Structure 1
Amino acid sequence: MARGLPEMLVLDILSKLPVKSLTRFKCVCKLWSSSFQTPLFITQHHHNHLTNDHLNHLVKRCDGETLSDLCYFSQLSAEKGQDFSLKQNIHLPVFEIEYYTHDVKVHGPQNGILCLVCDVNICLWNPSTREFKILPQSSNQRLPSAARTRFAGLGFGYDSQTDDYKVVRFIANIFEYGCYGTSCYDHTTVQVELYSLKGNSWKEISDPMISEPDVGVCDTTLPDNYVNGFYYWHSYDDSILSFDMVNERFSTLPLPGFNLPVELLNYNGLLGAIVYPRQGTPKSFDLWVMNGFWTKQFSIESVPGVERPLGFWKNGELFLESSDNELVLFDPSTREFKNLGIHSYKETQMVAYVESLVPINGRSEHEEHVIRRTVEDKVG
């Protein structure tokens, strides 16, 4: 420990440093190295970075228009005021398999951890510590009489009571009744499975809320639908389905008749809903927040050349994707738009996270052959 300074004071100072610095400082002494792995230090470090609003942004991108084009993540930097730039590109070879390449979805973050999903492949990733964990395949049996199955939704959240990270996913079992003329008929039931990071295993959940036939949830492009212990989905019946990560139970909330498609998200610790038309131009965007009842926060009226929302920046500014596949930032306080000069390509998602030291009992990026290159370097 540094000479002349109390141990707790030194650790308090260190807890304000970025993960990259702490990784280097592990070799200073054994006490520092062991202290960085304690729950108290990990919690304090993450809290400090949350308090100081040290946001990091990753943009999921695909360069081309075909299924053979690979997806990757670009780290978005805004170290010089509001002048955004791309710092590095991150390629994840675990997903570079045939038709999986375009279909990677991001969920989270939860305390700095992201959940990446590509069909049956699910991974947890801490981009700060560069730890990577491929989840085991489920051993639960699908219904043998089903003609086919498919994954029909997923959520990623945190159980604060057990300090556990959980993944809940829906599996649709499709039964074909037969074809009459040119029409074919089928019937779908849903199974739900829950993964626990602490147990590193899946289990099936039986809940009357999801036992009805043809239950389903809408896919979302916004990554963070977890709010205060609950994960939320917009269901096919135009209500909101929620899952309690602690009690492992489903419930529903009414969704006001917006008469337009809805994207749910965590908005400053409350459940939010961005309402906008998927088709046509110019677009209008409304942000609603649930705090006992739904209230409208702001509207963006008749904006030409803008396609969809991607997420929020530090002071409530909204990232949008333009019809020219460019990233745009809207400031609701000034109602001004700023083109960031960054091409978003196809299947874009944006995720904001705060650095953390939370372990996920996985392997290093190096072991999983994850490739990080500066944007100026060509990635093969």
Structure 2
Amino acid sequence: MSTGYLPEAIVENILSRLPPKTLIRFRCVSKTWLAFIGTPDFLSKNILIHSILVPNNTAQNPNPPFLLVKAFNNQKHICNFLSYDTLDCLFHFQVKLDFRSPAQDVYLWNPTTSSSSSSSSSGLSRLTPVSPRPNWYVKSVGFGFDPISNDFKVVRVVERFVVFNIFEEGLSKNSFRKEIEAEVYRVSSGLWRQIDLGPVIFGFQWVSTTYMNGVFFWWTKQEVDDKIIAFDFSDEIFKTTSLPEIGNADTYSCKLTVLNSFVAILVIPHDHEVMRSCFEIWPHFVDIWVLIEFGVKESWNKLFTITTPSTWRRPLGFWKKGELFIENGNNQLVLYDPFTKIEKNLQLNGIEEYFGLFPNYFQVVP
């Protein structure tokens, strides 16, 4: 009796339960496996199944993760804290944030000590700057947890424009050079220190950010191609990766997010015929891409495309097993299942274009 053959369905079932990074190595087993593992349908199924097999221990966690839904304008921030497991509202408040110098200062916010009735008890604490640094401005800020040192950290990128003279045909004129530096703040010590940016170049502006497993990510605009920049809070090193081939950056909007412990991007092609205004674009569909291995452009995989109704304003990010949070045309938070195509209105109202979703994977610090 031969035992060297397994039906294709059994092989598919076994492979679909392996971690995605293991599958990448298994593509060299045979041409059949290479073609099979590389299909979007299989990768999509694998990523979602693997997340189900990973045990969820939030019930045993004394400080389970929560989801912060925040709407804001110049006057106030409206914050709703939802259970990450059930999406039930744990608590809600409004707070007015009064920053001294928003372009230069960095604040830590502890929502557990916030009060909706007093700006003095907003839970904000201003981080002492490294040293007086006139003309330096904060370009971007990231916050995360270092599991090795068991410490929360803040990373910020600052920039300034330096004026210098150049000489042409005996005449002098002013020119500008942009300088960029990076600094890290340890919450335990209360101190900043400068770190090396390395070869990483922060472009004109970041497009979107996300956080996962001790690493903060930026999608940044570059002169040639956009890049994703990652900062690891443990080794305090910046790294970059290229984006997949998704076309001209002027023809789409994008969102950086996380799907089941993988960096993912939501790509929304612009259809200028259905634009309601220069800031309000109703997409026809959203492409979902997942990065299996950071730094390897070839490991980007397009999982699937969601056809979107005209009632959507923009996608905000994923939840649990692939459900997608959406801001609809009424500035409300909606949860959409791309497989059943069922929408659930979570009855949370936001402010147009200023509606954010922030998963919290940290323990609550009193």
Which of 127, 138, 154 is 2:129 aligned to? 138
How much has 1:277 moved relative to structure 2?
Answer: 4.0
Query: 1:261: which partner in 2?
Result: 253
1:228-274 superposed Cα distances (whole Å, 9 cap, x missing partner):
33222112220111122222111211111223333222322111111
Structure 1 match to 2:235 = 247
Cα distance change, pair 338–256 in 1 and its aligned pair in 2 (3 A): same
| Aligned-residue RMSD, C-alpha | 3.7
Match of 2:302 in 1: 296
Aligned to 2:213: 228
CA contact (8 A) 1:59 1:73 kept: yes
Tell me: CA distance 1:251–1:287, structure 2 relative to 1, closer, same or farther (3 Å).
Answer: same
User: Equivalents in 2 of 1:47, 1:129: separation in Å?
Assistant: 28
Deviations 1:299-338 (CA, angstroms, capped at 9, x unpaired): 2124313122223333321111112212222101202223
Report if the CA contact (8 A) 2:76-2:95 is conserved: no
- Unmatched 5+ residue regions in structure 2? 1-55, 116-121, 166-173, 271-279, 294-298
- Residue of structure 2 equivalent to 1:174: 161
Quote the offset at 1:170 in angstroms: 0.9
Change (3 A) 1:141 1:257: farther
| Number of equivalent positions | 275
- Tell me by how many angstroms 1:173 deviates: 0.6
Which stretches in structure 1 are left out of the alignment for 5+ residues?
1-45, 101-117, 179-183, 360-380
CA pair 72-341 structure 1, distance change in 2 beyond 3 A: closer
CA distance in 1 between partners of 2:60 and 2:362 (Å)? 8
Q: Secondary structure at the match of 2:189?
A: coil
Q: How does 1:90-101 map onto structure 2 within 5 Å?
A: 90-93=93-96, 95-97=97-99
Cα separation, 1, equivalents of 2:363 and 2:61: 13
Q: 2:263 aligns with which of 263, 271, 283?
A: 271
Q: In structure 2, what is the equivalent of residue 191 of structure 1?
A: 181
**Cα 1:158/1:216, change in 2 over 3 Å:** farther
1:229/1:58 CA distance change after superposition, 3 Å: closer
Aligned residue for 1:21? none
- Higher-RCO chain (CA-CA 8 Å, sequence separation at least 6): 1
**How do residues 1-380 of structure 1 correspond to structure 2 at under 5 angstroms?**
48-49=58-59, 56-62=66-72, 67=74, 69-76=75-82, 88-93=91-96, 95-97=97-99, 120-125=105-110, 127=112, 132=123, 134-142=125-133, 148-175=135-162, 186-210=176-200, 215-220=203-208, 225-237=210-222, 238-259=226-247, 260-277=252-269, 280-292=281-293, 293-346=299-352, 347-353=354-360, 356-358=363-365
Aligned equivalents of 2:68, 2:264: Cα separation in 1: 21
Larger radius of gyration: 2
Distance 1:342 1:203, change over 3 A: same
- Name the SS of the counterpart of 1:241 in structure 2: strand
